Amino acid sequence: MLVSFIIPVRNDAVRLRRCLTTIRANTPASAEIEIIVADNGSTDETPEVARSFGARVLTLPSLSVAALRNRAAAEARGQVLAFVDADHEIDPHWVASAIESLSPPDVAAVGALCFAPADGTWVQRMYDALRGRTQGQSDVEWLGSGNMAVRRELFDKVGGFDVSLETCEDVDLCQRLRQAGLRVRGDDRMRNVHLGDPATLGKLYRSELWRGRDNLRVSLRYGLTLRGLPSVIMPVLELICLMVVPLALGFWLAFALGEWQEPRLGVLRVSVLALAIGVAALALPTALTLLRVLRMARWGGLRGPLDLARAFVVAGTYDLARAVALLARARHHQPAKS
């Protein structure tokens, strides 16, 4: 069994070194490893770092991440394609677990949700709780392309990643595999630490503004499921509320304050109704964010009012960015210099 690791990267030499060190620590008796680094036009030492670990470097500037992965996959020789991003670290038994999980012939892809860095900021810790956890080995609807292994022949069969997508290309790939009657499985043994989790609220907002841009498009492609419904409904509701709140409050001010000296019953009713609409529009996204906080408390083991307050701020930032992403066209954020 040959496992081909495919790593897209741009100007991230330090974290790439850490990533490749953990890949080389995987030495299963049942498999060999090749590494292909798809370099998106780096100007730092990224190509040299990759070659020092025996990786084959493909120089592919000005391509989307989906196109980078597809081009590298076309050059790979392995029966298994292991998609791991440059700012990730994997456990020593990752390859062995992936091969075992892929052994049933109807399983097309395996992977797991990532962990935040152990020494991360409070934003990263709360974001980790927001993301949730893969538990055991069970079928899932999708896997993230920063921590996923796919059978090569099945990846080719469905046409690889959709290069028309800038984000959510992993969700789309998994949906097409499932549409073909294949299984996508989560496996918590494929532990992966994402060093690139956003460390501040500003970085969280910008990253989710970018990630959310194709969310609605992909979610509606293959029909909504009960589990996928919140990812569609919540951004739309939040965006509507963002528009309604200032309009309702402005309407209330125009009527209520303008008629304050000699109030008329009809005007007061209209102003009260406008205020009620504004409050309701503000309360709805707040309630939805609180539901996220309850889920975060379960997954993240949050304790005390400070943790809950931080969870609310992170969840609220996430929801706001996903809503604004329906209208804004953010660019991909660059990795921080290390």
C-alpha closest to that of 27 among 55, 53, 51, 3:
3
pLDDT, position 290: 92
Structure tokens given for 255: 């009527």
Specify the pLDDT at position 173: 97
Beta-carbon contacts of 278 under 8 Å, excluding residues fewer than 6 positions away, are: 244, 245, 248, 249, 252
Residue 179: its pLDDT value, please?
A: 93
What integer pLDDT is reported at residue 219 of this predicted model? 82
Q: Give residue 174's pLDDT.
A: 96
**Measured torsion, CA atoms of residues 140, 296, 18, 40, in degrees rounded to the nearest 10:** 70
CA nearest neighbour of 1 among 69, 127, 102: 102
Say whether 234 sits in a helix, a strand or coil.
helix
> Which stretches in the chain have pLDDT values below 50?
261, 333-338
Residue 330 confidence (pLDDT)? 63
What is residue 335's predicted lDDT score, i.e. its pLDDT? 45
78 close to 2: Cβ distance less than 8 angstroms: yes
Tell me the two tokens of residue 175: 């949906």
Phi, psi of 277 (to 5 degrees): -65, -45
Angle between helices 304-324 and 122-131 (to 10 degrees): 70
pLDDT score, position 215? 84
Angle, CA of 24, 27 and 31, to the nearest 5°? 115
CB-side exposure of 21: number of CA atoms within 13 Å? 8
Could you tell me the sign of the dihedral formed by the alpha carbons of 231, 237, 238, 240, in that order?
Answer: positive
Question: In this predicted structure, what is the pLDDT of residue 337?
Answer: 40
Short-list 57, 55, 34, 44, CA closest to 14: 44
Between CA 62 and CA 59 the distance in angstroms is 10
Sign (positive or negative) of CA dihedral 89, 95, 100, 102: positive
Q: How far apart are CA 190 and CA 99, in angstroms?
A: 10
Phi and psi at 334, nearest 5°, equal -90, 150
Q: For the chain, how long is the longest CA-to-CA vector? A: 86
Please state the pTM of the whole predicted model: 0.86
The values of phi and psi at residue 111, to 5°, are 175, -165
Predicted confidence at residue 338, as pLDDT, reads: 35
- Total length of the chain: 338
For residue 205, CA distances in Å to 157, 199, 315, 323 come to 36, 11, 10, 11
**CA dihedral for 23, 24, 27, 33, sign (positive or negative):** positive
- Residue 322: enclosing H or E segment and its boundaries? helix 304-324
